[in-house]
Amino acid sequence: MTMDALSRLLNPVSIALVGASPDAGKLAGRPLAYLKKYGYRGRIYPVNPKHKEIDGVPCYATAQDLPEGIDLALILLPAKGVADALEQCASRGVASAISIAGGFAEAGETAEQARLSDICRRTGIRLVGPNCVGLLRPAFGVTATFSSELKNSMPRPGKVALLTQSGALGNSLLQSFNDLDIGLAYWVSTGNEADIGLLELVEHSLADDNVELIALYVEGLKQGERLKGLARRARAAGKAIAVLRSGKSQLGRAAAVSHTGKLAGAWKVWRDIAAQAGLITVDNLDQLVDVAIAFDRYGFPTRSSAGLGVLTVSGGLGVLISDAAAEHDLLLPAFSAATQSRLREVLPAQMTVANPVDTALFTDEKGYAHCAETVLHDASIETLLLVLTSLAHDYKALLPWLEKLSRDALAIGKRLALSYLSSSDQLTPADRRQLMRAGALVLPTAERVVAALGRRQSAARVLPAADCSLSNDVASAVSSSSADFLRRAHVPLVPEGVFTERAAALDFALAQGYPVVLKVVSPAIAHKSEAGGVALNLRDAQALGDAWDTMRRSVAAYAPDAAIAGYSVQPMLCGGFELIVGCSIDPELGRVLMVGAGGIWAELLDDVRFVGLPASIEEITLALGSLRIAPILSGARGQAALDVAAAASAIHRLAQRFLRDTWVREIDVNPLLVRPLGKGVVALDVLVVPSVPPKEQ
């Protein structure tokens, strides 16, 4: 029923305009004027008690008077009238509605917005907004919006779905779609998301054969834990999701207790999970538009690697292009001997014929065309990038040939891209549009072309296998014992004794064998080193006794009111490398895993990666391999390789246990000692933070 309502929202054959105005110059008058201007063929039902008809269309006094079963109601009323109108629409069986009014949660009126959410829950009507700009579907002339851009023109139909949480930025993107001739499947401005959230629309788009790219502007997600799964489904459906996420500077986790929580800045979690899910991430509006152009012109990539051939007029720019290609994992293959020979026919001996090839100013239009066609027909090249400059080229003279070259490229399964030596030295908008309609990708700079192509190509790269299952273990009862949690996760824990008397600690150390480690045990002291609560490599009874006395004084000074359960004695294990492994609940993306450099260096190095849960062993292994300290794990500079496979397996079990034990808020294993190959791993310290104290469960 939900998906059917969303289909009716995006493909309405009947639209009510509640609060419609006869004045097309007013915000409430624009939607009807747009529907008529752009040829909407469905039925239109204006609602306004002051008018019998508007522009020849019969008018209804109230929403209560509407016919049954209308697909979409666009509510054009101020905030105070929205809830009653929504209730009336629901009573008439209207499937979906859009409220453009501001003055709800964004203005502090959370109760009024909650009232809208409640109406949707009770009646089943679906709502976009409030505080949004509306919806646009060019193929059907659906203009359920007051966007000022439609006064000029409407984007042509295409295969890019644009979903934005900002109305103004969405409107600006709409302007770019018009100016750059990007095809649009539909645009939805989601506003405050009192009911329908961005991810619901993403899910709907996955089943829409008319969509290849889903372009998102995101400020925050409802049910963000669904993002990873939806991104995986997009890949399986041959679609891509490109995301511009605002709020890079946002930090948050003020209530975090563990190292994991302190290291989990919101942006780092988003960055890593986006990469894990295979999202195309961009940093600004231009990059989002560039990706949209690349998909609009070239479609979804059909193979995971594709060669770029570059013809430029500057050796320096060739170097910059090479750098950009490396950054975006785009191949610049070496030309074949035949290609190099043909290039040498027109280029002087002092010019190289490597890729990128620099023609400098040594050729005229004819010679430049010879070089371009030669590179295009090289077997390793899928896309030819030409860099133009009016210092060497007559743009008007080249235009017919460029248009033909683009069509010829398409005919042999290849592509043409164009940029300029100077971004201020471009083709006219009309000429650019002519080339883009011939299938060429035209952007102001070569670096933007390379970035757009690289981001597009990333959609075809194979992702590591995902894990969408839980272990068969049943969820455990609430337990305050961190050691018990590790045992249930089958993660080895170094032998440990916890003592309140010095003599008992000395007896345990003697039985285990020196050297040993001494640590304070207190739920109130998460960071033991800061309290002087850790002593390492104690080699005999004298050293242990001295450390015991010193630690008691240091801990008492650091946290005089802390309840001390005792002092832990463990064997001192040597050899290997210390990782930090943590699990926490991100407020937006749900349960996540963190892996990184651990021990006393955890926060100093800040070398961590986050993985959305559930995660496969392969995904965890990939995260470990992406760390800066990864060479140490694999045996850098002649050192013995460490047991990374055992580490990934143990971390996977820990994450599975965290998913089962929903009473746990945070886990912090620091350090997890990764031992030499074949010797596995062992946890040296663990902190488990419950969501609420066990006695309250």
Query: Using one digit for the tens of pLDDT, what is the confidence trace for 333-358?
Result: 999 999 999 999 988 888 889 999 99
Separation CA 534–CA 578 (nearest Å): 16
287 is a domain residue: no
Selection from 60, 48, 47, 31 nearest residue 142 by Cα: 31
565 is a domain residue: yes
Average pLDDT over residues 51-59: 95
Residue 386, domain extent: 303-458
pLDDT over 70 percentage in the chain? 94
Average pLDDT over residues 178-199: 96
Give residue for tokens 């150390």.
Answer: 509
Separation CA 207–CA 186 (nearest Å): 14
Separation CA 148–CA 164 (nearest Å): 16
Question: 558 and 631: one domain?
Answer: no
Residue 597 has pLDDT above 80, yes or no: yes
479 is a domain residue: no
Question: 523 and 611: one domain?
Answer: no
647 is a domain residue: yes
Instruction: Please state the domain count of the chain.
Output: 4
Question: 567 and 659: one domain?
Answer: no
Question: 588 and 684: one domain?
Answer: yes
Question: 525 and 599: one domain?
Answer: no
CATH number of the domain enclosing 341 = 3.40.50.261
Residues 6+ apart with CB under 8 A from 240: 212, 213, 214, 234, 280, 295, 300, 456, 459
Q: Return the pLDDT at 373.
A: 96
CA distances from 274 to 130, 241, 627 (A): 28, 10, 16
Three-state secondary structure string covering 373-393: HHHHCCCCCCEEEEEECCCCC
Separation CA 451–CA 328 (nearest Å): 6
Lowest-confidence region among 72-76, 257-261, 632-636: 257-261
Task: Give the residue from 186, 211, 236 where a domain finishes.
Answer: 211
- Residue 466 φ/ψ region, left for φ over 0, alpha for ψ in the -120 to 50 degree band, beta for the rest: beta
Residue-wise pLDDT for 278-308, tens only, equals 999 999 999 999 999 999 999 999 877 789 9
pLDDT band at 2 (very low <50, low <70, confident <90, very high): low
Task: Give the residue from 194, 211, 228 where a domain finishes.
Answer: 211
Beta carbons of 183 and 161 less than 8 angstroms apart: no
Give residue for tokens 């309840």.
Answer: 563
Three-state secondary structure string covering 454-502: HHHHHCCCCCCCCCCCCCCCCCCCCCCCHHHHHHHCCCCECCCEEECCH
Q: Return the pLDDT at 478.
A: 58
Q: Return the pLDDT at 261.
A: 44
Beta carbons of 594 and 268 less than 8 angstroms apart: no
CATH number of the domain enclosing 519 = 3.30.1490.20
Question: 548 and 584: one domain?
Answer: no
Q: Return the pLDDT at 480.
A: 54
Question: 438 and 503: one domain?
Answer: no
Separation CA 638–CA 636 (nearest Å): 6
Q: Return the pLDDT at 208.
A: 95
Selection from 317, 292, 71 nearest residue 174 by Cα: 292
183 is a domain residue: yes
Residue 260 has pLDDT above 60, yes or no: no
- Residue 474 φ/ψ region, left for φ over 0, alpha for ψ in the -120 to 50 degree band, beta for the rest: beta
Q: Return the pLDDT at 392.
A: 84
Question: 64 and 126: one domain?
Answer: yes
pLDDT band at 483 (very low <50, low <70, confident <90, very high): confident
What is 541-578 written as a DSSP string? HHHHHHHHHHHHHHHHHH-TTPPP-EEEEEE---SSEE
Separation CA 406–CA 427 (nearest Å): 16
Q: What are phi and psi of 686, to 5 degrees?
A: -145, 140
Question: 63 and 206: one domain?
Answer: yes
Separation CA 495–CA 493 (nearest Å): 6
Separation CA 488–CA 12 (nearest Å): 53
Question: 543 and 417: one domain?
Answer: no
pLDDT band at 524 (very low <50, low <70, confident <90, very high): confident
Apex 402 CA angle, 400 and 407, nearest 5 = 95
Q: What are phi and psi of 673, to 5 degrees?
A: -85, 120
Residue 473 has pLDDT above 70, yes or no: no
Task: Give residue 487's Cα distance to chain centre.
Answer: 35
Which three-class secondary structure state does DSSP give residue 53? strand
Rounded to 10°, the helix 644-660/617-625 angle is 120
Task: Give the residue from 397, 427, 458 where a domain finishes.
Answer: 458
Which is more confidently placed, 350 or 454? Answer: 454
Separation CA 613–CA 470 (nearest Å): 10
Neighbour-count burial of 693, counting CB atoms closer than 10 A to its CB (0-12 exposed, 13-18 middle, 19+ buried) = exposed
Both tokens of residue 9?
């929202």
Residue 39 has pLDDT above 90, yes or no: yes
Average pLDDT over residues 634-641: 86
Residue-wise pLDDT for 368-409, tens only, equals 899 999 999 999 999 999 999 998 888 998 999 999 999 999
Residue 592 has pLDDT above 90, yes or no: yes
pLDDT band at 694 (very low <50, low <70, confident <90, very high): very low
The shares of helix, strand and coil residues in the chain, as percent rounded to the nearest 5, are 40, 20, 40
Question: 591 and 564: one domain?
Answer: no
How many alpha carbons fall within 13 Å on the CB side of residue 455?
A: 27
Separation CA 51–CA 42 (nearest Å): 21
Residue-wise pLDDT for 90-147, tens only, equals 999 999 999 999 999 999 999 999 999 999 999 999 999 999 999 999 999 999 999 9
Apex 529 CA angle, 254 and 533, nearest 5 = 115
- Residue 39 φ/ψ region, left for φ over 0, alpha for ψ in the -120 to 50 degree band, beta for the rest: left
Separation CA 216–CA 201 (nearest Å): 10
Q: Return the pLDDT at 257.
A: 43
Question: 608 and 565: one domain?
Answer: no
227 is a domain residue: no
Q: Return the pLDDT at 3.
A: 61
Q: What are phi and psi of 566, to 5 degrees?
A: 150, -165
CATH number of the domain enclosing 615 = 3.30.470.20
263 is a domain residue: no
Q: Return the pLDDT at 477.
A: 57
483 is a domain residue: no
Neighbour-count burial of 317, counting CB atoms closer than 10 A to its CB (0-12 exposed, 13-18 middle, 19+ buried) = buried
pLDDT band at 685 (very low <50, low <70, confident <90, very high): confident
Task: Give residue 240's Cα distance to chain centre.
Answer: 11
Separation CA 432–CA 429 (nearest Å): 5
pLDDT band at 472 (very low <50, low <70, confident <90, very high): low
Average pLDDT over residues 503-520: 94
Average pLDDT over residues 500-525: 93
pTM: 0.89
pLDDT mean across residues, the chain: 91
pLDDT over 90 percentage in the chain? 79
